Structure 1
Amino acid sequence: MFASHGYPRAVLFDFFGTLTQAAPRGAGHAEVARLLGCSPEELTAVLDTSFYRRSRGDYGDALTTLRWVAAELGRRPDDTTLRAAYQARIAALRADIRLRRDAYAVLARLRADGVRMAVVSDCTHELTEILPTLPIAPLLDAAIFSVHIGAVKPDPTIYLAACAALRVEPRHCLYVGDGGSRELTGASALGMYAIRLAAPDLGDHLVFRPDEEFCGPSARSLTEIFTRDLVPA
């Protein structure tokens, strides 16, 4: 699969739907809505329509962004309520995150083989606090969050930030993702070798801007990708 392109020096992983199982919003998000004084449906509508703007950090830091969300809902929570709602958002998102069963083993093998690795995620502030607490965090060399970079996929800026952090050129990188945000097409355009993770559970995954133009290879699991000709036996 990748052998004709040379052994990868680095692997960039998408996070949601790639290192994690499908991640629909769970019951914990209802507590955020309750604290903000709206229905879960109203909150979801604002979150969905503002996802990319929030993921670029357009509205400022975490609390300022959540205050903007509340204002869009016609609410003006006090600072104590706003902080409680933000902590509830972190708890809700953390509850939604279920790492794939093979994620740790795959990353550990790549690290043992000397391959540099980064997560590259379109995300809001909450993931920047959650990811460092996950078991896979010590295996990663870098985490590139759109909310810190100010750019979302497929903008070259976010991929090049990962390459800079790993000290590697794009042509020596493998990119693995489920295809949200047209991430695979964006990676390929920079000369990366991209593989779509097409795991069976992703039919229930929340995806914005699916990568319908990508015609490259796919795999049904992380293990399937890295037990072919990517990783030496």
Structure 2
Amino acid sequence: MKTKAVFFDLFETLVTEFSNGKRQSDRSYNYLELLGLEKEDFKKEWHSRQLKRMTGIFSNYPAVLKDISENRSLNFNDESVQYLYQERIKEKREPFLNIRSDLLELLESLRNKQIKIGLISNCTEEEVRYFHESKLAPYFDSIVFSFEVGIAKPDVDIYQLACERLSAAPEQSIFVGDGGSNELEGAKLAGLKVYHAVWFNTYIESTFKKINHPHELLKEIVE
């Protein structure tokens, strides 16, 4: 069946936060001094709220920290929270400053083939604040950010919503992602053809066909 739409994951598929296997930002904050929590305790609290963060139940980063403070009966230090918030915004801007040329070439080729291009990303507002200023943005016919729609991968509803927005049936659509959040399995359940992008992230295992270079995807497109 002719391919009508290609949907991409964002982080570690179109942009990366890592270099040589290490996160580019060091996140060397003194959480004990800033929030009253040891770093490991903060990480546990942060990860336990992932779904609520991704689906917009928490409206922003400060709202998450406020909930953590209340849950731990800590004093809420607005100055410390705003400092961490601004640092996080700066950190999340970095991946959008230098987009790989081969990824832009892939998007340009898809557009030239008149294939619709969609984005499906699990994210929070501060993580994608600079997406629309990046070189990626003009290529997309539809953008589905989880925090805006209240659904996160791998829920099949988010893939179905993305397909509906582009008037493309799942069986006419492709999903490309690095495999985080079980997104590849979710896309398959939703009926899309799935490819595992490994040009940034090679650590996630899957049974899906791996794409080692962006240009390889073009060979998989049915016209």
TM-score, reference length from structure 1: 0.79
Q: Name the counterpart of 1:103.
A: 103
The reply to whether residue 45 of structure 1 matches residue 44 of structure 2 is: yes
The reply to whether residue 94 of structure 1 matches residue 58 of structure 2 is: no
Q: Indicate if the aligned counterparts of 1:116 and 1:166 stay in contact, CA closer than 8 A.
A: yes
Q: Indicate if the aligned counterparts of 2:5 and 2:173 stay in contact, CA closer than 8 A.
A: yes
Q: Name the counterpart of 2:193.
A: 193
Q: Indicate if the aligned counterparts of 1:46 and 1:72 stay in contact, CA closer than 8 A.
A: no
Count of residues in correspondence between the two structures: 218
Q: Name the counterpart of 1:230.
A: 221
Secondary structure at the counterpart of residue 123 of structure 2: coil
Q: Name the counterpart of 2:138.
A: 138
Which stretch of the first structure deviates more once superposed, 124-133 or 73-82? 73-82
Code of the residue aligned with 2:148 in structure 1: it is H
Secondary structure at the counterpart of residue 84 of structure 1: helix
Q: Distance in 2 between matches of 1:95 and 1:170?
A: 33
Q: Name the counterpart of 2:28.
A: 30
* 1:10-159 aligned within 5 A: 10-21=5-16, 23=18, 25-27=23-25, 29-31=27-29, 33=31, 35-36=34-35, 38=37, 40-71=39-70, 75-96=74-95, 99-159=99-159
CA 1:28–1:185 in 2, change beyond 3 Å: closer, same or farther? same
Q: Distance in 2 between matches of 1:69 and 1:96?
A: 27
Name structure 1 gaps, 5 residues minimum.
205-209
Q: Deviations over 1:34-88 (max 9, x none)?
A: 7545555444333333322311223344432232244456643344443332221
CA 1:230–1:32 in 2, change beyond 3 Å: closer, same or farther? farther
Q: Deviations over 1:80-136 (max 9, x none)?
A: 443332221111122355534422111122122221111101112212412112110
Q: Distance in 1 between matches of 2:101 and 2:38?
A: 34
Q: Distance in 2 between matches of 1:22 and 1:215?
A: 25
Q: Name the counterpart of 1:9.
A: 4
Q: Indicate if the aligned counterparts of 2:93 and 2:129 stay in contact, CA closer than 8 A.
A: no
Q: Distance in 2 between matches of 1:96 and 1:49?
A: 25
- Aligned Cα RMSD in Å? 2.8
Code of the residue aligned with 2:6 in structure 1: it is V
Q: Share of identical aligned residues, percent?
A: 27
Secondary structure at the counterpart of residue 126 of structure 1: coil
Deviation at 1:220, TM superposition (A): 0.5
CA 1:49–1:9 in 2, change beyond 3 Å: closer, same or farther? same
CA 1:114–1:79 in 2, change beyond 3 Å: closer, same or farther? same
Q: Distance in 1 between matches of 2:68 and 2:30?
A: 11
CA 1:134–1:38 in 2, change beyond 3 Å: closer, same or farther? farther
Q: Distance in 1 between matches of 2:46 and 2:93?
A: 17
